[in-house]
Amino acid sequence: GAGRVYYQTFPRINRDIASGDFFSNPALLAAAEHAKKNASTLHLIGLVSAGRVHAMDEHCHALLKLAKDNGLERVAVHAILDGRDTIYNAGIDFITTLEAKMAEIGVGKIASMSGRYFAMDRDNRWDRVEKAYNAMVKGEGTKATSATDALKASYALEVYDEQFVPTTLMENDAPVATIKDDDAVIFFNFRPDRARELTRAFVLPDFDKFPRQPVNDLRFVTMAEFEAGLPVEVAYPPEKIEHCLAKAISDAGLRQLHIAETEKYAHVTFFLNGTYEQPFPGEDRAIIPSPPVASYDLAPAMSALEVTDRVVREVQAGTYDFIAMNYANPDMVAHTGNMEATVKAMETIDQCVGRVLDAVVAAGGVLFLT
């Protein structure tokens, strides 16, 4: 919503790795120093993927080099598997590459693996997050002695990367590494929305979404700012965007509504508003709950009808001068890989957009469809 180019976290990280500045980043060095001072473990959590939507595996490789350069010997990677922004079973290739990089750099072991379905939920499905957390902290879940063998076994059951069950890697009948008191963590995802819930479980003192084993004196660093106010250190704080679309509308004294279902709420608020969490004066927000199903091909209409009903009602009432809305279905259902469900989702969206268009035209307004 800025109307001009701002370098986001992803290219900023890439630029710093290329220049070498990444390896002197104060927040990253603080995590390494904490582990070194306490003779403890540095844990790297993140999506091991070349998808470049939420994370990039090369950033993990750079962190391994940073750890080696700073004399760390105990480095554990808690790998989150993709299969959503990559081919469904590409995880085994990324894990193989990661293990080769560890051998090349001379530091690091894979301590756990979880599908992003569990570790990167963004719809308050805390039972999923709990399983990933417990694998990382308690060493619970499925046990395996080989990361690649665990993936092959899961693939044989037709359970692929995204839904890969949280698994603890074992060595000499004990977990390779769990996150303990005095340890340090770097969560290397650079996109906030799917990293918030797991981070909250680690760092919020009053966290109550599931019974957890707290970790004391944990130095927790996030690659980007996942959420304002979290008690973490941020390696790449957001660059302040001085002016965005929502602010321009607000400054003009106009009323606006930003609306979506849960899965895309951040897209019409945080992202559209230039990474500002709080609404501007005159800006209202509406969040429609996404259906509580295991996978959205089971409910391809999602909450599009409810979003549409609200938007049509507001257009007819004339309350707002501007409405930003997002339909989650084309993205969320298509990502399941179920073509029949995706067709049904698009049929729903076709009908919904038609209803919104009719209402906007009748009100003498303009509809921008992107």
Enclosing domain of residue 257: 245-362
End residue of a domain, out of 182, 208, 236: 236
2 within some domain: no
The mean pLDDT of 88-101, rounded to a whole number, is 98
Specify the pLDDT at position 239.
Answer: 83
**Can you tell me which residue has the tokens 């710093």?**
16
Contacts of 216 (CB under 8 A, 6+ apart): 181, 182
Is residue 219 within 8 Å of 185, Cβ to Cβ?
A: yes
Residues 6+ apart with CB under 8 A from 358: none
Number of domains in the chain: 2
Residue 288 lies in a domain: yes
Is 56 domain-assigned?
yes
Asked if residue 218 and residue 262 are part of one domain, the reply reads no
Q: What gap in Å lies between CA 177 and CA 112, rounded to an integer?
A: 8
One domain, residues 177 and 308? no
Same domain, yes or no: 180 and 152 = yes
Within a domain: residue 196?
A: yes
- Could you tell me if 336 and 295 are in contact, meaning their C-beta atoms sit under 8 angstroms apart? yes
Q: What does the pLDDT read at residue 238?
A: 86
Domain end, chosen from 178, 205, 236, is at: 236
Task: Tell me the per-residue pLDDT of 148-170, one tens digit each, with 9 for 90 and over.
Answer: 999 999 999 999 999 999 999 99
Judgement on whether residues 215 and 324 belong to the same structural domain of the protein: no
Kindly state whether residues 208 and 270 are assigned to the same domain. Answer: no
Residue 370 forms part of a structural domain: no
Amino acid 241: pLDDT:
83
Please state, as a whole number, how many other Cβ atoms lie within 10 Å of the Cβ of residue 230: 18
Asked whether residue 232 falls in the same domain as residue 261, the answer is no
Position 6 scores a pLDDT of: 80
Q: Give the CATH number for residue 339.
A: 3.40.720.10
Cα distance between residue 111 and residue 9, in whole Å: 27
Q: Report yes or no: 216 and 137 within 8 Å, Cβ to Cβ.
A: no
Q: Give residue-wise pLDDT tens across range 8-53.
A: 899 999 999 999 999 999 999 999 999 999 999 999 999 999 999 9
Q: Which of 134, 295, 296, 113 is nearest to 209 (CA)?
A: 134
Q: How far apart are CA 160 and CA 153, in angstroms?
A: 10
Q: Is residue 369 part of a domain?
A: no
Assess whether pLDDT exceeds 90 at residue 276.
no
Q: Are residues 220 and 261 both part of a single domain?
A: no
The secondary structure of residue 145, as a DSSP letter, is S
Residue 199 DSSP SS3: helix
For the chain, what is the mean pLDDT? 97
pLDDT at 138 over 90: yes
Looking at the predicted structure, is the pLDDT value of residue 240 above 90? no
**Are 289 and 347 contained in the same domain?**
yes
Residue 192 or 5, more confident? 192
- Name which of 235, 217, 214 is nearest 226 in CA terms: 235
Of 191, 208, 236, at which residue does a domain stop? 236
Clarify whether residues 147 and 228 are in a common domain. Answer: yes
CB-CB contact of 105 with 66 (8 Å)? no
* The two structure tokens encoding residue 220: 């927790």
CATH number at residue 95: 3.40.1450.10
Instruction: Specify which residues 287 forms β-bridges with.
Output: 260
Furthest CA-CA distance within the chain: 71
216/272 same-domain check: no
Asked whether residue 3 is domain-assigned, the answer is no
Average pLDDT over residues 273-301: 95
Quick one: 72 and 47 in the same domain? yes
Q: Does residue 4 lie in a domain region?
A: no
One DSSP character per residue, 37-65 reads: HTT--EEEEEE--S--SS--HHHHHHHHH
At 142, is the pLDDT very low, low, confident or very high (cuts 50, 70, 90)? very high
Task: Give CA–CA dist 3/362, Å, rounded.
Answer: 29
Q: Are residues 266 and 297 in the same domain?
A: yes
